[in-house]
Amino acid sequence: MAHSTTLALVIVVVLALTFGATVSVSAPVNKSCVSGSAGASVSIGYGGARASAGAGVSLGADAYRSTCPRAEEIIRAAVERAVAADPRMAASLLRLHFHDCFVNGCDGSVLLDDKPFFIGEKTAVPNANSIRGFEVIDAIKTELERECPDTVSCADLLAIAARDSVVVSGGPSWEIEVGRKDSRTASLQGANTNLPAPTSGVDTLVQKFRNVGLSTKDMVALSGAHTIGKARCTSFSARLAGAGGVSEGGAGAFKDLTFLQSLQQLCTGSAGSALAHLDLATPATFDNQYYINLLSGDGLLPSDQALASSAAVPGVEADVASLVATYAFDASVFFQDFAESMLRMGRLAPGVGTSGEVRRNCRVVNSSE
């Protein structure tokens, strides 16, 4: 999309001020490599051979190498087939993992179907008519059960499929930590409460991530997942009206009037159900274009554009707008931070005393089959 000369000069000045020093990432233990189409590989340190995910769960990279050595191969091939058939599926599978982890940890609870006397998370406001890809997960789980029964948890399946969805879209790869158990319950209230809304402002986004133990930097990096996928018109209607749509300061109207008019035309008469690309420039490619769009004022969701429009938030350990500029300037920095934040999110676990299992069917607990 076209940008004015003035806007280009502003961005150059911002970036020049932001990058007075080289960005570096500490890697105390070089256990894996993050690689992507944006440039050379960079190392990621786990900080140890295994990572604690809480609730007595110990995650590592070796769990399935002896018990189900083809697990990741099976998942990767299935994800590749699914995305080839429906490019939007990459974002959908990535989103499933996010929506799972933010509600009582990464425990596969988002996959449970409603039953008599049991209401799961699928009908929560952030999930209803939004999350998808369950049939893909079902098909992968069936194949895994044939290969190695009662071995690979649905929660681990989601983590691996999310990583592979990023990779197949051109983004970074990282070594998945596995060993999660599947929950025997779910939380409709948790899904309604914990998941950020598309109209959230920066203060709310920071607090939602802090509530589960993730940092502001994690929030900005993981928001980059919106470089792929689509959103319904109802999610960004406030942006179309130019009202900003966030409680902690408006995100402003689109600066690209042609883009604005095309979205208004798409959404008119659709009752809010029409879908728009979160990243119009490179909609199916996992890259740093999302952040470039934010600097140009063309983030689709109010919660996205708020990241670039925010002032420094009191008590926040990272300047959100500066991180946006950093990731817009250097895709390799974004790739590394995104991978590290995905690892940290993947360590979120149910509370102490919560029992788990390896579900044979990701939609129901084993005793209910």
Closest residue by Cα to residue 140 from 219, 71, 240, 83:
71
351 is in an annotated binding site: no
The answer as to whether 318 is a domain residue is yes
The pLDDT of residue 56? 47
Q: Is 99 a catalytic residue?
A: yes
279 is in an annotated binding site: yes
The answer as to whether 200 is a domain residue is no
The pLDDT of residue 314? 61
Q: By the 8 A CB rule, do 112 and 121 touch?
A: yes
227 is in an annotated binding site: yes
The pLDDT of residue 245? 43
The pLDDT of residue 145? 98
Q: By the 8 A CB rule, do 166 and 89 touch?
A: no
The answer as to whether 199 is a domain residue is no
pTM assigned to the model: 0.83
- The CATH code of the domain that includes 294 is 1.10.420.10
The answer as to whether 330 is a domain residue is yes
The answer as to whether 264 is a domain residue is yes
Question: Tens of pLDDT along 163-208?
Answer: 999 999 999 999 999 999 999 999 999 999 999 999 999 999 999 9
The answer as to whether 288 is a domain residue is yes
Question: Tens of pLDDT along 247-288?
Answer: 444 445 667 778 888 888 899 877 778 999 999 899 999 999
Residues in contact with 292: Cβ distance below 8 Å, sequence separation at least 6, in sequence order: 281, 328
The answer as to whether 365 is a domain residue is no
Residue spans of the chain under pLDDT 50: 1-52, 54-56, 243-251, 369
Domain with 236, as residue range(s), is: 225-241+251-345
The answer as to whether 35 is a domain residue is no
100 is in an annotated binding site: yes
User: Total domain count for the chain?
Assistant: 1
Residues in contact with 64: Cβ distance below 8 Å, sequence separation at least 6, in sequence order: 71, 72, 151, 152, 156, 178
Catalytic, out of 3, 97, 99, 277: 99
287 is in an annotated binding site: yes
Residues in contact with 69: Cβ distance below 8 Å, sequence separation at least 6, in sequence order: none
